[in-house]
Amino acid sequence: MGQNSENVRVAVTGAVYVAPTIATRPTTATSTLGADHKELGYISDGGITETRDRSTNQIRAWQNGALVREPVTESSIRYQFVLIETKKETIELYYGVKVAPDGSIKIDPSKTGGRQSFVIDVIDDDDIIRIDVPSGEVTEVGDQVYVNGDPIGYEVTVTGYAITDGDESYSAIKWYSSLDTTEGAAA
């Protein structure tokens, strides 16, 4: 098959969107998002980190202690990023509460904001990788640091929860526009 340097992707830019879990979900890497999807703004130059974790249980036979099976017992997918725009959507996501009309928030460290839908676009020129997390929740937040010369960052970790869609169960869907071979797709 050979090597092709045109297939090397770089996450040049992108965006993260949040919406209620009932919002219309994307159907392709390039489908238009609905008005319910709010862009969270600039993300720090550290980008977005996707982490997939798995735990397994090794089943061994009595005979020679041979490994006979290793089923997955736990799994998760998480997305971590630092938002650097201070705006309503960012503050509400980070603190898990609504911003009052006067710009204040009442901080309750136990609040997560509940389950929401997330869309992450990773863009390299005309190539788009789109990730749809239909049911996600902010499960971790980073420290707030206030220092001269650096942006105030809002570090969040979004955990994707499994949903059932037809006869499939999954926590996220990922589309690669460069791999789309359906009729009418860009080559």
Where is 91: in which H helix or E strand? helix 88-95
Where is 73: in which H helix or E strand? strand 72-83
3-state DSSP assignment of residue 183:
coil
Q: What is the pLDDT of residue 187?
A: 47
Q: Please say if the pLDDT value at position 122 is more than 80.
A: yes
pTM (2 decimals)?
A: 0.89
Give me the domains of the chain, ranges plus CATH numbers. 9-21+35-179 (2.30.110)
pLDDT digits (tens, 9 = 90+) for 30-56: 999 999 999 999 999 999 999 999 898
10 confidence band (pLDDT: 50, 70, 90): confident
SS3 per-residue string spanning 99-148: CCCCCCCCCCCCCCCCCEEEEEEEEECCEEEEEEEEEEEEEEECCCCCCC
Q: What is the pLDDT of residue 7?
A: 85
